[in-house]
Amino acid sequence: MGAPISVRLDDDVRSTLEVEAKAHGLGLGTLLRQLAEDAAVRLKRERIRAESEAVGCYVASNEDARRLVDGLGQPPVEGL
């Protein structure tokens, strides 16, 4: 398990989150942990997609890179 952290929340934000946590039968800490984990997964996926797009743009714009990746994922040709 990770290390605990301390977060300061405005009264309105805390109240809203407490109501939401209670509605789901959770404690405030559990709800905050779930929200943070969901956000971390989303942010990581967004970063991976952005990095993949950058690689794709580079390959599309660079002839040497296109030649390097040309045929990747293709089954081998028999008889070579």
The pLDDT tens digits of the residues spanning 18-58 come to 999 999 999 999 999 999 999 999 999 999 999 999 999 99
The C-alpha atoms of residue 38 and residue 21 are separated, in whole angstroms, by: 15
Q: How far is CA 37 from CA 8, 11, 19, 29, 41, in A?
A: 18, 23, 20, 12, 6
Amino acid at 48: I
The pLDDT value recorded for residue 80 is 59
Look-up of token digits 């109501």: 19
Q: How far is CA 10 from CA 7, 15, 19, 31, 40, in A?
A: 10, 9, 14, 16, 22
Q: Does the pTM of the predicted model rise above 0.75?
A: no
